[in-house]
Structure 1
Amino acid sequence: MKHSQSLGARDFRTRSLLVRTTALAAVVPVALTGCGTGSGGQGGDAASDAGLREVTVVLDWTPNTNHSGLYLAQAEGWFADEGFDVNIVEPGETSGLQLVAAGQADFAYSVAEGLVPARAAGADVVSVATVIEHNTSSLISLSDDGITRPRDLEGKRYGSYESDLEKALISKLVECDGGDPAQVEFTPLVSDDFRIGLTEDQFDTAWVFDAWDTIRLGEVDGLDVDTIAFRDHFDCVPDWYTPLVATSRALLDEDPDVARGFLAALSRGYEEAAADPDRAAEVLLEAAPELDPELVSASAEWLGPQYASGDWGTQRAEVWDGFVAFLEEEGLTEPGFDTDAAWTDQYLPGADAQDSAEPGESQP
């Protein structure tokens, strides 16, 4: 099995990409470095001899439970069953979407707030599956600070990645709850160690992901915390897909069976991760033994029901349309963005097998 290989520095800047909406400055050919064969993996010659097509997948962050289905499909041989030798690499200074757009990777884990500016900058990348059905972001704070609803952020310090998207979302949440967004202080984060930031009073609240940070702080570290979940306020702010799996339009047009086969195995992996979170945790820890077993186990259990209430990976037009409309209203992307071209469900299991599936279409 091929293990994750680092593409470069794994630091705070990588994490901050999750909430940036800055467009890619340019989409140019780049070299995919640092993605050799991992311990116990097949080399290119061996894969060729076995009749397997090599496929490269770039993660959006270091290995975590959002990637459980990928690692399960790898460990169980389901990619090989579909004819693929999959190489999983971690992101570095070059984003996965840039690598996919440049033809240096086949698939990438990303987020909607990354894919929209990438397409606006000219990268013909397409979301072909969502990993989690709904956004699982929250604002987290120590319970002693009494931040239980958005308007409680008045007079508080928000630990910020300094992105325009953050400011728009936080301001909208506070405004919808009858508060004054101008009274929220945006304090730049200096690291992504939210435990230190909260307990050393660097900020009062920050944007985290419930499946990882909230569990780490509340269940593993034992802090008394409160959260404001974005999903409880979708009447005010949009839902959006984070993370998602993207590929290039070129791959979909030229090698549609690669997309179908890859997603068939990946879907099987996530369905198994939902059904057997203990196995999902076990496989992830084998691939990334540096992770905290307690955190991985609790996170895998929490995420199982979040992967999908129906068929894994399916996206909805109203979610994409609502998110892009929010970006346009807030001046975060130019009007007229072609939302339909940014996603498709037509390569997921059960979709019509047609070589020229239209983007922006859900399964029947």
Structure 2
Amino acid sequence: MRMHRIGAAMAAFATFAVFTLATAGAALADTAVKFALDWKFEGPSAPYFVAIDKGYYKAEGLDVTVDTGPGSVAGIGRVAAGTYPLGFFDINSLVKFRDQNPDKAVKAVLMVYDRPPFAIVTVARTGIAKPKDLEGRILGAPAPDGAYAQWKAFVKENGIDAAKVTIENVGFPVREPMLANGDVDAITGFSFSSYFNLQLRGVKPEDIKVMLMADYGLVLYGNAIMVNPEFAAANPEVVARFVRATIKGMQDTVKDPDSAIDSVMKRNETADRATELARLKMAIRDNIATPWVMANGFGAVDPARLAASIDQIAVTYEFTNRPKPEDVFTAEYLPAAADRMLK
């Protein structure tokens, strides 16, 4: 009888132990998070892969999956729909999205491109050296291009007579080839995309002229990490942990891009390492590690500048339900400023 009681007790203990281990395992299981990029796995996507490879997301209890995206504009709808709880897209397009969809409270939670890569790109043979030189020329611009969306504001800031510029609607795949072949005199595009695409077309680096719109009067921000509102409401700590780990990936990438690019190449083996490293360094220099970021830390925005950027968007876009700065960006998920500085 006593042996029976011991056996029963041992069986009960074993059952309890299995239940405890299973419960602990469930509690310790990483939270799966799907994250969408704006484009392909290229140099500027290094921070997220660094955060994966160095275990920063894992340390925060997150199992992050990074997917390619359809562009810096189109992907916002995926975040709004919840297809992706988090994504990396253009905040200026988010301003317009919120105007058109005031009931879909998608917000940016971490600014990545303190200065946008929007640019006018040309080549030496055209003689175009400054914005006014575009008058009397042909500008190749894909209609849905994020850089072209800023054209009217760029015109206003630089006193360009827009009537003297011929705009040719070109497809994304033929934009750089048309410039290289002389079919257009300049194009709109992302600086670190068009610059290297032209080199692939045989244009020498010294013959490529990149006019960053941020250097010519535009105060706009660029791409930021955005979150689905329902996901954020249900999982505020997950969002904060994702932001914290991503900032660590950004810090490491800026400190050592030569090592960070390896995390990209592991996921895009057909890419050229030298090109992607140069692309990453260009994005760090022009868009990510700006003087303002170096002084204030990664991830935040200047509310006054964000408000001014919305005013500038109004030059090119007619608002119906104009959003406020706090409608499109929140700092509530950011860690303390000391943890966001380059270390």
User: What is the TM-score with the length of structure 2 in the denominator?
Assistant: 0.80
Which shows bigger deviation, 329-338 or 76-85? 329-338
Q: Structure 1 pair 266/164, CA: closer, same or farther in 2 (3 Å)? A: closer
1:325 and 2:307 are equivalent in the alignment: no
In the alignment, which of 112, 118, 121 is matched to residue 91 of structure 2?
A: 112
Give unmatched runs, 5+ long, in structure 1: 1-46, 353-364
Q: Structure 1 pair 251/351, CA: closer, same or farther in 2 (3 Å)? A: farther
Q: Structure 1 pair 253/49, CA: closer, same or farther in 2 (3 Å)? A: closer
1:96 and 2:75 are equivalent in the alignment: yes
Equivalent residues in 2 for 1:28-177, closer than 5 Å = 51-92=29-70, 95-120=74-99, 121=101, 122-163=103-144, 169-177=150-158
The one-letter code matched in structure 2 to 1:91 is G
State the SS of the aligned residue for 2:64.
Answer: strand
1:220-252 residue CA offsets vs partner (Å, 9 max, x unmatched): 852512222212112xxx322221100023333
Determine which structure has more spread, i.e. the larger CA radius of gyration.
2
State the SS of the aligned residue for 1:192.
Answer: helix
How far residue 191 of structure 1 moved from its aligned partner, in angstroms, is 3.2
1:271 and 2:258 are equivalent in the alignment: no
In the alignment, which of 298, 301, 304 is matched to residue 281 of structure 2?
A: 301
The one-letter code matched in structure 1 to 2:42 is N
Which shows bigger deviation, 145-154 or 337-346? 337-346
The one-letter code matched in structure 2 to 1:272 is D
Number of the residue aligned with 1:7: none
Equivalent residues in 2 for 1:213-232, closer than 5 Å = 213-217=194-198, 221-223=203-205, 224-232=207-215
The one-letter code matched in structure 1 to 2:163 is A
State the SS of the aligned residue for 1:300.
Answer: helix
Q: Structure 1 pair 106/186, CA: closer, same or farther in 2 (3 Å)? A: same
In the alignment, which of 154, 170, 187 is matched to residue 206 of structure 1?
A: 187
How far residue 269 of structure 1 moved from its aligned partner, in angstroms, is 0.3
The one-letter code matched in structure 2 to 1:97 is I
How far residue 283 of structure 1 moved from its aligned partner, in angstroms, is 0.8
Q: Tell me how far apart the structure 2 counterparts of residues 81 and 262 of structure 1 sit (CA, whole Å).
A: 10
Equivalent residues in 2 for 1:347-362, closer than 5 Å = 347-350=333-336
Q: Tell me how far apart the structure 1 counterparts of residues 30 and 149 of structure 2 sit (CA, whole Å).
A: 46
The one-letter code matched in structure 2 to 1:68 is A
Number of the residue aligned with 1:12: none
Number of the residue aligned with 1:262: 242
Q: Structure 1 pair 190/336, CA: closer, same or farther in 2 (3 Å)? A: closer
The one-letter code matched in structure 1 to 2:326 is D
State the SS of the aligned residue for 1:323.
Answer: helix
How far residue 118 of structure 1 moved from its aligned partner, in angstroms, is 2.1
The one-letter code matched in structure 2 to 1:152 is D
Number of the residue aligned with 1:31: none
In the alignment, which of 212, 220, 224 is matched to residue 244 of structure 1?
A: 224
Q: Tell me how far apart the structure 2 counterparts of residues 63 and 240 of structure 1 sit (CA, whole Å).
A: 25
Q: Structure 1 pair 244/221, CA: closer, same or farther in 2 (3 Å)? A: same
* Aligned residues of 2:265 and 2:271 also touching (Cα < 8 A): yes
Which shows bigger deviation, 285-294 or 326-335? 326-335
Give unmatched runs, 5+ long, in structure 2: 1-24, 339-343
Q: Tell me how far apart the structure 2 counterparts of residues 108 and 84 of structure 1 sit (CA, whole Å).
A: 16
Number of the residue aligned with 2:4: none
Indicate the RMSD between aligned Cα atoms, in angstroms: 2.7
Number of the residue aligned with 1:290: 270
In the alignment, which of 328, 331, 334 is matched to residue 345 of structure 1?
A: 331
* Aligned residues of 1:160 and 1:189 also touching (Cα < 8 A): yes
- Percent pairwise identity: 20
How far residue 300 of structure 1 moved from its aligned partner, in angstroms, is 2.1
Q: Structure 1 pair 160/84, CA: closer, same or farther in 2 (3 Å)? A: same
The one-letter code matched in structure 2 to 1:136 is P
Number of the residue aligned with 1:26: none
* Aligned residues of 1:274 and 1:303 also touching (Cα < 8 A): no
Q: Tell me how far apart the structure 2 counterparts of residues 351 and 232 of structure 1 sit (CA, whole Å).
A: 27
* Aligned residues of 1:98 and 1:123 also touching (Cα < 8 A): no
Q: Tell me how far apart the structure 2 counterparts of residues 280 and 288 of structure 1 sit (CA, whole Å).
A: 13
1:196-228 residue CA offsets vs partner (Å, 9 max, x unmatched): 111222211112222333245359852512222
